[in-house]
Amino acid sequence: MPVKLRKIRGRLLAAMVASAAAALSLATAAHASLPLGFSGNYTFGSSGCPSNNHVDPVNVLFRGTQAYAENVANQVQTHAGWSNGSGSTQWLWVDTGSGSSCRQMNYQRASGGSLDSRFHIRLWWIPASGGEHKKTAGDAHHEDFIWYCPGHAVDSNGSGGSGFDQGRWAIRQAFINGGHYVDSEYWGNTANFHQCDGDWAASNGNGLLVSVYHTSG
Amino acid sequence: MRSVAGNLRRSRRARRIGLTAALLLLGGVGLVAIAGGAGSNAASPRLSSASADPGATGASADESRLLPCTPADEPANFETFSLGPDFSGLPMTAALRVCEKLHAGDKVRANYVSYIYGSCEIAPPAGGKYVDGGCQPPLEVQSWPSCERSLADYTLEGLPYPRESAGHVGQAPAFLFDGGSRLEMYSGETTIVIFGLSEKTVEGAAEAVRAEPEDAPAVETAGKLSTSSPTPLAAPAPGSLGGELQCR
């Protein structure tokens, strides 16, 4: 009997240690891949989200009862007038509720076509969110079409702000004008990105929080 | 340098042991559920001010508290740091002086000197014809005035931004952010921000930073960067960690 009890105690202890180890592992994984909690803080240019393939900083979070990706895309179109859906595919680590997953964007909206200089945002639904607290993340920016690349380059850093800052400011103004509550935080994701025209572009690290509580414009 | 590295490692080891012990204690009371929710931010939307933003049409009055922007060919008005002409086989490939106006609604503006090490390749996406976006170099060291960017500035949906103490480098406290891809040190009146592709890279770089001469232009070619030994980092200026340091 004492031996059996010791075995049961041993199994319980092992289960607790395993539980704690699993928790530690999960917590580490969540922090390792989801710096922003709801998502990673940079997008990726290829599936699988390899660490050496960052492309854009995440700089906007839409949240609220109607902040699902399709509605956010519609709201961007309504308030900012960005109605074009062209652009390359990107990926982002997002919170699934049971961990993190590298997911392809759900929608994108731009103020011009693939051969235009334009404002552009890609949108990712955050699967872990729902109910009152739906969330969609975005990477707003302004990009110029550079004929000799050929392709898009995000506007370089300068006294008037980089293309990442300009895109975030444009979203901010459009949604304020549309009557949405908008707030800002500082996330600090200010890494520089080399662009195809030879310039450098970085976000100034601010993150925009946009409330979305309705479906119509 | 060896002792600095040792300090960083010892300090982090002690912290990790403490964290592990705490998690073991909590393991039997449902920590898995907590960890599972760690990535899902449960904070509700903050509605702390009016929805019509009073700063929507102009820069904040806070701009008067900022340092004046200095040009790239003049010394910056705050201490700057680099890794010298090269680091761990990566040559310094670009130096940037970035200083923008504070825009309405932004908490912090860009005001820093950056040294970039190594290069990256921009290519069209698979199957695509056009380039669409840039690439991140392997290593970057940014120096910001700590009166404009400090540990106290970071929040995430109204909560403290996740970070992990990484001990000290010299007397400067160091913190890891973003899964170890960003390390910040707070030395004197400068916030040193290091971006890299791995925790190992940014920690190695943290122990190798050196101050650039005060009278040197902010943007230097690699050949003119300091080749001195890594600088013993000073303790943060009073108030700088808490965001209370005034620009002067």
Residue-level pLDDT, tens digit, chain B, 248 residues:
333 344 454 445 444 433 333 333 333 333 322 222 222 222 222 222 223 333 333 444 467 789 999 999 999 999 999 999 999 999 999 999 999 999 999 999 999 999 999 999 998 877 788 888 899 999 999 999 999 999 999 999 999 999 999 999 999 999 999 989 999 999 999 999 999 999 999 999 999 999 999 999 888 887 788 888 888 999 999 999 999 999 98
Domain enclosing residue B173, as ranges: 4-46+71-224
Question: For residue B128, what pLDDT is reported?
Answer: 81
Q: What is the pLDDT of residue B248?
A: 86
Report residue A13: phi and psi, to 5°.
Answer: -60, -45
Residue B233 lies in a domain: no
Q: Are B107 and B153 in contact (CB under 8 A)?
A: yes
Q: Does A185 touch chain B (CB under 8 A)?
A: yes
Nearest CA in chain B to A152: B132
Does a structural domain hold residue B51? no
Q: Which residue has the higher pLDDT, B172 or A4?
A: B172
Tokens of A159: 């006294």
Tally the domains of chain B. Answer: 1
pLDDT in tens, A139-162: 999 999 999 999 999 999 998 999
State the nearest Cα–Cα gap between A147 and chain B, in angstroms: 10
Q: Is the pLDDT of residue A8 over 60?
A: no
Q: Which two tokens stand for residue B142?
A: 């940014």
Question: What percent of chain A stands above pLDDT 70?
Answer: 84
Our CA-based measurement puts residue B147 at a distance from the nearest CA of chain A, in whole angstroms, of 15
pLDDT at B8: 52
Predicted local distance difference test score (pLDDT) of residue B226 = 81
Which residues numbered 97-136 in A keep a CB inside 8 Å of some CB on B? 97-100, 114, 128-129, 132-133
Position A25 scores a pLDDT of 39
Three-state SS annotation for chain B = CHHHHHHHHHHHHHHHHHHHHHHHHHHHHCHHHHHHHHCCCCCCCCCCCCCCCCCCCCCCHHHHHCCCCCCCCCCCCCCCEECCCEECCEEEEEEEEEECCCCCCCCCCCEEEEEEECCCCCCCCCCCCCEECCECCCEEEEEEECCCCCHHHEEECCEECCCEEEEEECCEEEEEEHHHCEEEEEEECEEEEEEECCHHHHHHHHCCCEECCCCCCCCCCHHHCCCCCCCCCCCECCCCCCCCCCCC
Lowest mean pLDDT of A78-87, A105-114, B18-27, name the range: B18-27
- Domain-located, residue B151: yes
pTM for this structure? 0.82
Question: CB-CB: which of B38, B133, B180 is closest to A30?
Answer: B38
Q: Which residues of A touch B112 (CB under 8 A)?
A: 190
Cβ of residue A205 closer than 8 Å to a chain B Cβ: yes
Identify the helix (H) or strand (E) that includes residue A120.
Answer: strand A118-125
A153 touching B (Cβ < 8 Å): yes
- Answer whether B107's CB lies under 8 Å from B155's CB: no
Confirm or reject contact between A34 and chain B (CB < 8 A): yes
Do A199 and A153 contact (CB within 8 A), yes or no?
Answer: yes
Residue A27 predicted with pLDDT over 50: no
Candidates B194, B147, B199; CA nearest to A188 is B194
C-alpha radius of gyration, chain B, whole number: 20
Please report how the helices B2-26 and A2-33 are oriented relative to each other, as an axis angle in degrees rounded to 10: 130
Cβ contacts (< 8 Å) between A37 and chain B: which residues? 38-41, 156-157, 162
Tokens of B67: 């340092």
Residue A91 has pLDDT above 90, yes or no: yes
Residue B235 falls within a domain, yes or no? no
Inter-chain contact A26–B35, Cβ cutoff 8 Å?
Answer: yes
C-alpha B139/C-alpha B52 separation (Å) is 40
List the single range of A33-42, A123-132, B7-16 with lowest mean pLDDT: B7-16
| Long-range contacts (CB closer than 8 Å, 24 or more residues apart) made by B126-130 | B126/A46, B128/A88, B129/A150, B130/A88, B130/A114, B130/A149, B130/A150, B130/A151, B130/A152
Q: What's the rounded Cα separation, in Å, for the pair B219 and A62?
A: 38
Domain map (residue ranges) of chain A: 1-33, 36-211
SS3 content of chain A, % helix, strand, coil (to 5): 30, 30, 40
Q: What is the pLDDT of residue A61?
A: 98
- Please check whether residue B152 lies inside any domain of the structure: yes
Reported as type and span, the H/E element at residue A101 is: strand A100-104
> Residues with Cβ < 8 Å from B206, sequence gap 6 or more?
B8, B166, B169, B174, B183, B185, B192, B194
Specify the pLDDT at position B1: 34
pLDDT at B63: 74
Tell me if B89 is assigned to some domain.
yes
Q: How far is CA A78 from the centre of its chain?
A: 21
Nearest to B180 by CA among B157, B160, B203, B161: B203
